[in-house]
């Protein structure tokens, strides 16, 4: 059993908001593929769908392990779970609007690779590869950033930072009030 998942109160999990310092933690690889991992992934999918998101990484719920979930079409049958993911190769470039559940109300244009191939494990520990493009490739890269402690604000250009400074300040003030 992974110590980070032992005794985790799944019903109380919520999506952390910037600037919570747990969002900056570099995640550790998952070693235990058990019911605790599957239950965490299912809870993350619930939270992601409730927040109307297309991706959610474990550090966004305060668990610093290498795990993210996604559903690029926002359809339940398209839900995916990625454990210990890593990019194998990428190609091309896209620029598009990107938001983040940890940055409510904020969206900005971010440059990403257009095609991304990743390798990951499923919740049973079985290895798989997946290649995606467009939005799905953007999700891979965004969620992998979270696993490395990198946030949307780190990818923003100076114009995006300037145009979102009021919202960022509000998030910081709200966090400091807690």
What are the structural domains, with CATH classification, of the chain? 10-177 (3.90.45.10)
| 3-state helix/strand/coil string of 88-146 | EEEECCEEEEEECCCCCCCEEEEEECCEEEEEEECCCCCEEEEEEECHHHHHHHHHHHH
The predicted structure's pLDDT at residue 177: 82
Mean pLDDT, residues 28-43: 96
Residues 72-103: pLDDT tens digits? 998 878 999 999 999 999 999 999 999 999 99
Which residues are designated catalytic? Answer: 143
CA–CA distance, 141 with 151 (Å, rounded to integer): 11
Residue 85 CB: number of other CB atoms within 10 A?
Answer: 21
Q: pTM of the prediction?
A: 0.94
Q: Percentage of the chain with pLDDT > 70?
A: 98
CA–CA distance, 85 with 129 (Å, rounded to integer): 9
Cβ proximity of 118 and 136 under 8 Å: no
φ/ψ bin of 53: left (φ > 0), alpha (ψ from -120 to 50), beta (otherwise): beta
Per-residue pLDDT at 152 exceeds 60: yes
Instruction: Identify the three-state secondary structure at position 147.
Output: helix
Residues 6-24: pLDDT tens digits? 778 999 999 999 999 999 9
Per-residue pLDDT at 1 exceeds 60: no
Please report, for residues 29, 66, 104, 167, the alpha-carbon distance to residue 107 in angstroms, rounded to integers and kept in the order given: 29, 25, 8, 10
């Amino acid at each position: 059993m992974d110590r980070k998942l032992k005794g985790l109160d799944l019903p109380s999990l919520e999506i952390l908001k910037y600037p919570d310092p747990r969002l900056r933690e570099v995640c550790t690889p998952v070693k235990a593929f058990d019911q605790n991992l599957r239950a965490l992934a299912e809870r993350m999918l619930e939270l992601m769908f409730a927040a109307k998101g297309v991706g959610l990484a474990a550090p966004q719920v305060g668990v610093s392990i290498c795990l993210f979930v996604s559903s690029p079409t926002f359809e339940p049958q398209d839900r995916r779970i990625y454990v210990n993911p890593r990019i194998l190769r990428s190609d091309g470039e896209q620029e598009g609007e990107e938001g983040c559940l940890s940055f409510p109300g904020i969206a900005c244009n971010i440059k990403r690779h257009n095609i991304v191939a990743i390798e990951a494990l499923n919740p049973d520990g079985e290895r798989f590869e997946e290649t995606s493009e467009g939005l799905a490739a953007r999700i891979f890269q965004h969620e992998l950033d979270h696993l490395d402690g990198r946030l949307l604000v780190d990818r923003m250009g100076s114009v995006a930072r300037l145009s979102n400074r009021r919202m960022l300040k509000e998030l910081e003030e709200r966090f400091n009030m807690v």
